[in-house]
Amino acid sequence: MSAGSNTFEDAKAVVISVQESATYRQKFDFYSSWAENYDNDVAVLEYRAPTLAANSISKHFSGDREKAVLLDVACGTGLVAKQLKKHGFGRFVGVDGNEAMLELARGIGLYQELKQSLLGDEPLPVHWADSFDAVVIVGALCRGSVPVATVRDLCKATKPGGYVCMTVRSNIDNLEYKGALDRELKQMEEEGLWICVEVIEVKDWERSVSEKEGRYIPGVVNLYKKI
């Protein structure tokens, strides 16, 4: 099956193929064939998460945006960096598990550094600890993808006083994962690692590809500040 599409039905078929991939690594392998048409497909699906995450960070960030360095985890083709650039941010480090996606991210010219790493299998570099003014992960916190425990690595990479922005779908198939994620976020808050700044629940997150859902699925933007 071609991973390219121009219609909702085509984009729907691609997303279902990703969801049906048996393992985490198979999902990332699929992204190699999807990379070239990824941006077009998520536009067809009316995927709002990159914009919503960038808006959340921008609303609360009070530092020097020209000097701030942001870590874009599971950066894909660079959709989040493009949105953050509109808010005045310009220094980005990206990490993703798929080289085809990273090649497209290189092409937009916004990242000062890009690293290939399969989250969950490989930890973030130790020297990144306490390095970033903000860390963002969009689209990867879901069933069969990045393990919930990865959020601890995101917190470690953030400077004290910096922000961690995490988006998660709250559709039916992802509710178990989201529940585990919510418990981990709360546990980390109780441990004094960070404080919750805002939780934004969005009804029309993206168009649904499942018969079990309505026309759109919901999602959530979580923003935390590292202590």
pLDDT for 18-56, tens place per residue? 777 656 667 767 888 889 999 999 999 999 999 999 999
CA neighbours closer than 13 Å in the CB half-sphere of residue 75: 32
Question: Would you place residue 130 in the very low, low, confident or very high pLDDT band (cuts 50, 70, 90)?
Answer: very high
pLDDT of residue 5 exceeding 70, the answer is no
Percent of the chain with pLDDT over 70: 95
Residue 221 clears pLDDT 70, i.e. is over it: yes
Measured CA to CA, the distance from residue 43 to residue 135 in angstroms comes to 24
- In this predicted structure, the answer to whether residue 1 has a pLDDT above a threshold of 50 is no
Q: Output the pLDDT for position 21.
A: 64
What are the structural domain ranges in the chain?
8-44, 49-226
Closest by CA position to 138, among listed 67, 213, 211, 70: 70
Query: What pLDDT is recorded for position 4?
Result: 47
Q: How many whole angstroms from its chain centre is CA 83?
A: 13
- Per-residue pLDDT of 168-188, as tens digits, reads 999 999 999 999 999 999 999
Please, are residues 112 and 92 in contact by the beta-carbon 8 Å criterion?
Answer: yes
pTM as predicted: 0.93
pLDDT at position 144: 84
Fold of 49-226: Rossmann fold (3.40.50)
Does residue 16 surpass a pLDDT of 90? no
